[in-house]
Amino acid sequence: MNRYQLVIIQKEVALHYYQSEEKLFRLFLDYHKAYDWAQPVLEKQIHYITEDIKRRDWKRYIHEPLKNIGYNSTSMGEGLFYQSLKTESSLKVTNQSIWFHHEGDVKEEWKVFDCLKSLSPCMFAVNIDRNTYGWLKPMKVFSVL
């Protein structure tokens, strides 16, 4: 099983940490492995560099494509929950993060990522269990030199 946390990093922060993504990953890793007393401080730092996931954008860009690849949705309080009809995969969407738990074919995983990258060019994925991370949509950064 792969478990991902996906967030939208603010554009200025994303550009600043372009090709230094390991530092962003380290912040999320520290948060997940921190003592209870340290988590609130790290959570504030993560909240400071991320953007909220707007429900209207979600409905506009993501809801139908996920439905087309076989995910059913249900509301859960402030967030949304999507369950795959084919596998044990699921997405939990909150104001701050998307939690993607995937069991199954890698092709389905990439189809979900393709849907999610249309939400923002600064979508950052972290898999703490496997120590992997990266942008869903590689940024185009132009040199002025």
Report if residue 29 sits inside a domain.
yes
Least confident of 43-52, 64-73, 134-143: 134-143
Task: Give the pLDDT confidence of 112-142 residue by residue, as tens digits.
Answer: 999 999 899 999 999 999 999 999 987 665 5
CATH code of the domain covering residue 128: 3.30.310.250
Domain count, the chain: 1
Question: How far apart are the C-alpha atoms of 25 and 84, rounded to whole Å?
Answer: 27
- What is the extent of the structural domain holding 9? 2-134
Residue 104 has pLDDT above 90, yes or no: no
pLDDT for residue 137: 86
Is the pLDDT assigned to residue 80 strictly greater than 80?
Answer: yes
Task: State the DSSP string of 20-38.
Answer: -HHHHHHHHHHHHHS-TTT
Cα 13 from Cα 35, distance rounded (Å): 26
d(CA 58, CA 51): 13
Nearest 5°: phi and psi at 29? -65, -45
Give the pLDDT score at 44: 96
Mean pLDDT of the chain: 90
Q: Is 22 part of a structural domain of the chain?
A: yes
Contacts for 66 with CB less than 8 Å, ≥ 6 apart = 73, 82, 91, 112, 115
Q: How far apart are CA 33 and CA 13, in angstroms?
A: 23
Confidence at residue 144, expressed as pLDDT on a 0 to 100 scale: 52
Find out whether 28 and 124 touch, Cβ atoms under 8 Å: no
* pLDDT on residue 58: 85
Predicted TM-score of the model (pTM): 0.88
Do 102 and 2 form a contact (C-beta atoms < 8 A)?
yes
3-state helix, strand, coil in the chain (%, to 5): 35, 30, 35
Does residue 144 sit within a domain?
no
Element (H, E) at 4: strand 2-9
Domain-embedded: residue 142: no
Q: Is 106 a domain residue?
A: yes
Is residue 141 a part of any domain in this protein? no
Dihedral of the alpha carbons of 118, 116, 53, 82, in degrees to the nearest 10:
140
- At residue 124, the pLDDT reads 96
128 belongs to a structural domain: yes
Residue 31 — very low, low, confident or very high, per pLDDT cuts 50/70/90? very high
